[in-house]
Structure 1
Amino acid sequence: MTFPKFKLTYWDAKIRAEPIRLAFAINGIPFEDERVSREHFAAELKQSAPFGQVPILTVDDKLVLAQSTAILRYVGKIGPVKLYPEDPIKAIIADQLISHVQDIESALGAAFVFTDLQQRDAYRANLTANVLPTRLKQLDEFIAQHVSQSDEITIGDLYVYQLNTGFLTTTGFAFTGQPKNSVAGFEHIQKVVEKVKSHPAVAEWEARH
């Protein structure tokens, strides 16, 4: 199978780009993994980037695509493994997983924006004690009810995996005092994480990065 020339531009971090990188890897699609500093992006790329942000995917050196979820859906459609399911019910299940994970990530991201330290600490305490456990329980129950227990992987599974590796770990996007094993007690989330982690292409990618 012949593919266009792809260049994925993002920070040297997992977060929004990692599900896209894994989608390329699972399908064996070659791509340039361009990792830029925020300074380089601000000086050289921001003005021309759609919506002024990354990730961006450049196709054949001319078409520039933006918005991480849109890019992920695109990559999930073009390879031999249809990570974005053609079946509309399976597709909307994947979309719901992504939307819920994004809600969790937004709540985590908000923990960094406070200038008032008392407000920040109160927000983080409530997030840790109430918000995060509730959202993860909802995610675990949704996976138990709707996500296939087969080896089939979707872009929704990639988002769940990245929530664990990019946001809820000591090496990921975590604030001081945030529990580092947030998903440890959620059986069905862990099953999805393990399913993705054990895929040979993902294991190879992780070993090299």
Structure 2
Amino acid sequence: MHCKAPSFISRLNYRKTIIYHRQDRMSVMRFPASFRFAAAAMALGALTACSSVPITSMVKLVRTDLAATDPAVLRIAVRLPQGLRPRRVTLRVTVAVGAEKREQAFVLADLDDPGELLSLKDEVTNDTMIYAFRIAPEDVPRLLAVRDQMAAHKAKGERGSLTIGVGAEACRIGTLPAKTLITTYLKTERAGDFFPLTRDVDLRKDVPKEAVPERIPLCN
């Protein structure tokens, strides 16, 4: 599928921020997720769908240390209605120490191993499709360097944060269904399964009126 760059961009973002101290380790999670629709540089609206995060996933996230997760095994998946297609998916990692912030962007690669999606087989329905992504192998060393940078600040007792966000641009094929439900998944362990990060977020119901699904560009 080939889509030209849209005027309106649909982004599915979720973030986990890790705060570190000299002695105490405290994790602060920003759930999950927000759908942002932008025209040029102007954001039209945002949704924080905390209520769409399953309780079991909250527990899983609390127990997950993304700073210690091997980037090579990190997987991200999204379930979309048949009428939506993902475009470029980008991982943004921001390390903040004091007033200084450094951000790096990584364009994710398609996950092309069907065996890795077995844990999602019961999540697929007749009117949905699941798309999965991974860190491109050539980007793993760069992401490991970011993680090492954060660890070095922590070892010095410097307070800061690591924020990981994922944005997925999307386009649509024709008219979308009355309920446009989107579910996202995360996998952080090589031998682990995908677990839902957000479930059944309704674009029509849960986002500002200016960001109705019809504002998502058509695919070419």
Same fold (TM over 0.5): no
The two structures have a TM-score, normalised by structure 1, of 0.26
Choose between structure 1 and 2: higher helix proportion: 1
The two structures have a TM-score, normalised by structure 2, of 0.25
Choose between structure 1 and 2: higher strand proportion: 2
Higher relative contact order (CA 8 A, sep 6+): 2
